[in-house]
Amino acid sequence: MSTNPYGDSYVGGLRKVARVVLLDPQDRILLLHGHEPEDPADDWWFTPGGGVEGDESRAQAALRELAEETGITEVELGPVLWRRRCSFPFAGRRWDQDEWYYLARTAQTETRALALTELERRSVAGARWWTCEELAQAHETVYPTRLAELLRTLLDEGPPARSVTLDPEIV
């Protein structure tokens, strides 16, 4: 039994997280709309994904989380694009995460959250497909904060030869 109060996905104080940069055939990216559970006005957009569970790999976690949060299962999972460490307050506590962002492609664009946790049900307001241009012009908060720039580089140059380590983000 884990003695870690944050669960088995925390190793060395960091929660191991797999995120998905999901692109449709028109190169739009899928983002989820989240907010503080007790304050829907405190909101942001973010990529699907979440913590690694048990002995699953990060790739397995990415596909599981994507299915749970969006209902999208017809996915071609690609390489890890980016890695990032972040720390942020959410739902009354601080989350310290080591995130890996996987590239994925799908033709399945209809979303339906199938298996949200209780906390996700209180804090995820929906999903939206964004073009790179819409993302670059957005006034909303988006994580990671340089996502529009990162997406533009990805679409222009393709995936990097090796995953890129992004600057840490501490909110």
Is the model's pLDDT at 20 over the cut of 90?
A: yes
Let me know: does 107 contact 25? Beta carbons within 8 Å: yes
Q: What CA–CA distance (Å, rounded) separates 148 from 95?
A: 24
| pLDDT tens column, 41-59 | 778 899 999 999 999 999 9
Give the model's confidence band at 12: pLDDT under 50 very low, under 70 low, under 90 confident, else very high: low
pLDDT for the residue numbered 44? 86
| pLDDT tens column, 115-154 | 767 767 667 778 999 999 999 999 999 999 999 999 999 9
Indicate the range of 94-98, 106-110, 115-119, 144-148 predicted with least confidence: 115-119
Q: What CA–CA distance (Å, rounded) separates 104 from 164?
A: 16
Q: Where are the beta strands (DSSP E) in 75-152?
A: 76-90, 93-105, 124-130, 142-143
